[in-house]
């Protein structure tokens, strides 16, 4: 499932905001856990594939069919 262009732009924007926040905080000060969504947003924006969105669709569709 590929994300539409508007969602991809949003992913890249949010990833950029997180990276700017990490930069302003300091790379050595920011927790390693903050890097996970920052990298995930950028990857989702570039590739158009968002693993968390795919997982959410699978979880909620499976509950709907039960």
CA–CA distance, 62 with 20 (Å, rounded to integer): 37
pLDDT tens-digit profile of 38-53? 999 999 999 988 888 8
User: For residue 1, is pLDDT > 70?
Assistant: no
The set of residues, in sequence order, having a beta carbon less than 8 Å from that of 41 and lying 6+ positions away, is 11, 12, 14, 15, 18
Question: By the 8 A CB rule, do 39 and 11 touch?
Answer: no
- List the chain domain ranges: 5-65
- pTM higher than 0.85: no
3-class state of residue 66 by DSSP: coil
């Amino acid at each position: 499932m590929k994300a539409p262009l508007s969602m991809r732009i949003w992913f890249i924007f949010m990833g950029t905001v997180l990276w700017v926040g990490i930069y302003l905080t300091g790379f050595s000060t920011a927790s390693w856990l903050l890097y996970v969504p920052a990298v995930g947003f950028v990857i989702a924006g570039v590739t158009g594939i968002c693993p968390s969105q795919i997982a959410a669709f699978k979880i909620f569709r499976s509950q709907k069919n039960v």
